[in-house]
């Protein structure tokens, strides 16, 4: 039996690709890093040090240009910047050290003369600093000696004044003792004279000294 004029709905064919979920993409926060110069620093006039201003070390978790840290933040560029900065500083330090000892042995006549001139100036500076230190030490010692002499002089004056005060006190003490002794001696003489007069009066009234106490 055929069904003419009846159309059956066709079943749609669905592939698994249609159900695949779309990949989630997180936006990467762009930031700019300061350029690190790897060029060799030019030598100075004295060739003893290389004055170069290095960029500061970056914090990988807080790089410049990023206001807020997110989970999509990548730290590869910041670490690379810090590594390149470290290598540049090492190269400049090695260059400074190499330039320091290369001149007196392998430099030109002008560089050798400049090196000897720097050595002479350095020795003169050291000698002047040593002489200044010695002069300062001698000045300090002289001031200390003057202070000690002044203290000694003050102590001697105090000792002399104390000796004078003690001598004056002893003199007054001696004079007072002498006065007291003379007064006592005078009183004793007066007492003996009075006793002698009284005994004479008693002998006058009683010529016979029965007790033998009268003189």
Q: Looking at beta carbons, which pairs linking 85-92 to residues 24 or more positions away fall under 8 Å?
A: 85/36, 85/54, 85/55, 85/57, 87/38, 88/36, 88/37, 88/38, 88/54, 89/54, 91/38, 91/40, 92/40, 92/41, 92/50, 92/52
Q: What is the mean pLDDT of residues 70-78?
A: 70
pLDDT digits over 89-132, tens only? 999 998 888 887 888 888 889 988 998 999 999 999 999 999 99
Q: Residue 154: is its pLDDT beyond 90? A: yes
pLDDT digits over 6-26, tens only? 444 555 444 444 444 444 444
Domain boundaries, the chain: 33-107
pLDDT at residue number 72: 60
Phi, psi of 172 (to 5 degrees): -65, -40
pLDDT digits over 170-206, tens only? 999 999 999 999 999 999 999 989 988 888 887 777 7
pLDDT at residue number 215: 57
Q: Residue 40: is its pLDDT beyond 80? A: no
Q: Which two tokens stand for residue 147?
A: 């202070």
């Amino acid at each position: 039996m055929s069904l003419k004029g009846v159309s059956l709905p066709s079943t749609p064919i669905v592939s698994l690709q249609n159900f695949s979920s779309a990949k989630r993409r997180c936006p990467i926060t762009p930031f700019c890093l300061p350029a690190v110069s790897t060029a060799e620093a030019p030598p100075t006039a004295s060739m003893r040090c290389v004055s170069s201003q290095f960029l500061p070390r970056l914090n990988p978790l807080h790089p410049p240009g990023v206001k807020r840290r997110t989970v999509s933040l990548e730290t590869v560029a910041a670490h690379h910047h810090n590594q390149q900065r470290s290598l540049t500083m090492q190269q400049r330090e090695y260059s400074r050290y190499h330039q320091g000892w290369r001149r007196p042995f392998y430099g030109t006549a002008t560089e050798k003369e400049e090196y000897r001139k720097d050595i002479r100036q350095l020795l003169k500076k050291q000698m002047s600093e040593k002489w200044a230190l010695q002069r300062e030490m001698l000045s300090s010692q002289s001031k200390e000696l003057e202070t000690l002499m002044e203290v000694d002089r003050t102590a001697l004056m105090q000792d002399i004044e104390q000796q004078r005060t003690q001598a004056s006190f002893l003199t007054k003490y001696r004079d007072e003792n002498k006065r007291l002794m003379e007064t006592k001696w005078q009183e004793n003489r007066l007492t003996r004279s009075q006793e002698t007069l009284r005994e004479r009066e008693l002998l006058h009234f009683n010529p016979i000294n029965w007790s033998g106490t009268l003189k």
